[in-house]
Structure 1
Amino acid sequence: MKKIIFIILDKFANWELAYLSAALGEKQLGTVQYSVLYASTDKEVKTSIGNLKALPDLSIWEIPEDISDLVFIGAEGSWHNLSKEQTSQLVTLAEKVKANGKVLGAICDSARFCAVNGLLNDVKHTTNTFDEIKDAALYTNGENFVLTANEAVTDHKIVTAKGDSALHFAVSVLRALGDIPEENIQFFYTLHTKGFLKAIQMN
């Protein structure tokens, strides 16, 4: 069973993880089974923007090496308020995932976090706006910023998206994993855009 780690912080955007986490827990989606785990800066309860309470499985210091995917979820303000130690640990985790050829996903303000910490300097990417990253000292890849409507951007297993693109983000991460049949991903996408009956007809 492959491990998928979602990083959630206080005031996390609960809609940004909903599609992807649910899809990964759906046994019918593919032949490979995934274990979805949640990690944060500590193991205290985290409260989402929508007042959803979540108890992390792990702290960011306890994340194992053998993960298949690391997903950063946006939050209201919290990605701006991390300590130097927390930032360093999250950047180190992301760098290891990239170096190991695993999937790194980041949506909304967590994509900004990745950009301003130099994690997106070698790939095409997006964030909520270009203005929020263009002047960051560690960001050097403006020519590969992609302005999107609601699509996610995937390059070398790095998936980034704006906060209004949770479904496209989920679909792109599922594809980046590389072991879920495309027809199953299409069914999932159609289900959530055109409804159950249309998805069944296309299956």
Structure 2
Amino acid sequence: MSQENIHPVFDRLLGRDDKQRLLGQRSVVVWLYGLSGSGKSTIANLVERALHEDGRMTQILDGDNIRSGLNQNLGFSDEDRLENIRRISEVAKLLKEAGVVTLASFITPKKELREMARSIVGAEDFIEVYVKASFEECARRDVKGLYAKAAQGGVKQFTGKDSGFEEPEGGNVIILDTESESAEDSAKRLLTILRERVQPTVS
């Protein structure tokens, strides 16, 4: 179907403000990225459970879960990585518009991918969180056995080995260094920021 035959109806839909009022919160997208094994998913789970206890409506978008369903047709080439992040960014944007606090946990190795995610979600609602841990430390943890497989050539385009990872350089980025602090302490630091951000505005 040609794009000229597509007619979005966003202007006729119930708005984000209505959803946020119903839920009693402000929606944001928290984008956690870093090497496999750095602690992204662990921190996202800890933060979600704490926010749930606060009475917040949340949703986690996790890399492995998404690749087993929505994006199961994508590989790990540069083109497929871009499409993976593009789709997830659009899903995160939909959840934001529904008033949901969304925690996205993806390796997102390139700056251009993070910038694309930010532009799709909207910079004012995008919280960038770098979960920092060295390749060596993540290989030591090897929670999924991927580093051992990669060392034997069993995982192609492995980030940090065959495919590069670009660390953030300045900018408005929260850095959680899981080599110098526990995942629990990192989650607490992130929660301090999020609890303020998701408070509903007083009209």
Instruction: Give the structure-1-normalised TM-score.
Output: 0.42
Relative to total residues, which structure has the larger strand share, 1 or 2? 1
Relative to total residues, which structure has the larger helix share, 1 or 2? 2
